[in-house]
Amino acid sequence: MAHAVEKLGIRACLARSTMDTGEGLPASWASESTDSCVKIQEELFKKYHGSACGRVHVWFGLRQILNATDDLLLRTKELANKYKTGIHMHVAEIPYENKYVSEQRHVEHGTVTYLSKIGLLGSNLLAAHSVWVNPNEVDLMAKSSVKVSHCPASNLRMLGFAPIQEMLSAGVCVSIGTDGAPSNNRMSIVDEMYLASLIHKGKVVFTKGTTDPSALPAECILKMATVGGAKAVLQEHQIGSLEVGKKADLVVINPNTWTMMPIHDPIASLVYSMRTENVDSVMCDGQWIMREKRILTVNEDEIMKLAVEAANGILKRANICIPRRMNVL
């Protein structure tokens, strides 16, 4: 992944999905000890952090609390603090997770409550999803300056409604994410912005029985996708906004299509009307990596061909047969 980031010319925070316990893990994962989890991550940090002219940041990863012993949780926190980097962890994704933590770790509610108890909450924790958190846990996250990655499509597909309005009101930094391919077939921040703007308006209707079109307004969504994203990855002083002294990371939008015209309110148009085809060019660290919808750093056709071959290989090795539900020419 680090080599791909370097070749593409993009910027990335990379974290290994780390597990030292849990039921039903493949043998190769189940065999990992706490020591090996920590050792591998420290080696990855030393080898790749700061590579690609500083565009690669290596973080420490915790899959989720169901797959982490207290020893791994605390040692990960210790190492992240030592190396002044971030921790990525899936937090409070499903109700069962909170039930498990309450029963096994003996706390009143669930994951966030327990992470606060052992001291893992902090400004360098990026909590993915954070769907099943109660008001007290929202306050704990705010007081500890925890960052949240809100993944609207994934939440709609399989997790639930995260209390994003409550988090923002409490002062929690919330960014926008896509989650992974198995739970999001589009992987588009543009689509996630649109979804985030809608689902929380719908949530108000569902919970209160009244409509509120101003819930999570367009300007709030745009901040979540830009300055909120930069703050979530601990780089708000370098990226996230166009300012003198910051890195030259920018996206050029061509609004002159039927999808966005006419432009009355640019911010509203970016959130409610923009589609991925409106993205014209992308610059990272002062270098164009896409111009006029053409990727400049790699052969896009070749990459897509290799991706199809790799995917077919996985299906074959796993002995998975996809049902044929329609004829395709």
Helices (H), the chain: 2-8, 27-30, 34-48, 70-83, 95-105, 111-118, 135-143, 152-154, 164-170, 189-208, 218-225, 227-232, 266-268, 300-318
Q: What is the mean pLDDT of residues 218-235?
A: 97
Q: What is the mean pLDDT of residues 2-20?
A: 96
**Cα–Cα distance measured from residue 266 to residue 184, given in angstroms and rounded to the nearest whole number:** 27
Exposure string of 174-203, with b = 16+ CB inside 10 Å and e = fewer, is: bbbbbbeeeebeeebbbbbbbbbbbbbbeb
Strand-pairing partners, residue 129, are 91
3-state secondary structure of 56: strand
* Each residue's pLDDT tens digit, 17-37: 999 998 888 888 888 899 999
The pLDDT confidence band at residue 214, using thresholds 50, 70 and 90, is: confident
Strand-pairing partners, residue 253, are 279
pLDDT at 171 over 90: yes
Q: Are 304 and 311 in contact, with CB atoms under 8 Å apart?
A: no
Which helix (H) or strand (E) is 291 found in, with range? strand 287-291
The pLDDT confidence band at residue 205, using thresholds 50, 70 and 90, is: confident
Q: What is the mean pLDDT of residues 10-18?
A: 96
CA dihedral of 243, 244, 246, 252, whole degrees rounded to 10: 50
* Each residue's pLDDT tens digit, 60-91: 999 999 999 999 999 999 999 999 999 999 99
Q: Can you spell out the DSSP letters for 66-126?
A: GG--HHHHHHHHHHHHHHT--EEEEES-SHHHHHHHHHHH--SS-HHHHHHHHT--STTEE
* Each residue's pLDDT tens digit, 94-135: 999 999 999 999 998 899 999 999 999 999 999 999 999 999
**Cα–Cα distance measured from residue 113 to residue 328, given in angstroms and rounded to the nearest whole number:** 50
Q: Which residues contact 271 (CB under 8 A, 6 or more apart)?
A: 193, 194, 197, 218, 221, 222
Give percent of the chain above pLDDT 70: 100
Both tokens of 50, joined, read 């700061």
* Each residue's pLDDT tens digit, 267-294: 999 999 999 999 999 999 999 999 999 9
Q: pLDDT value at position 26?
A: 82
**Cα–Cα distance measured from residue 178 to residue 182, given in angstroms and rounded to the nearest whole number:** 11
- Average pLDDT taken over every residue of the chain: 95
* Nearest C-alpha neighbor of 5 from the set 59, 61, 63, 48: 48
Question: What is the model's pTM?
Answer: 0.93
Count of C-beta atoms within a 10 Å radius of residue 36: 12
3-state secondary structure of 60: strand
Cα four-point dihedral sign 212, 272, 128, 171 = negative
Kind of pairing between the strands at 294-295 and 287-291: antiparallel
Q: pLDDT value at position 213?
A: 85
Q: pLDDT value at position 206?
A: 80
Q: pLDDT value at position 215?
A: 87
* Nearest C-alpha neighbor of 176 from the set 113, 258, 261, 270: 270
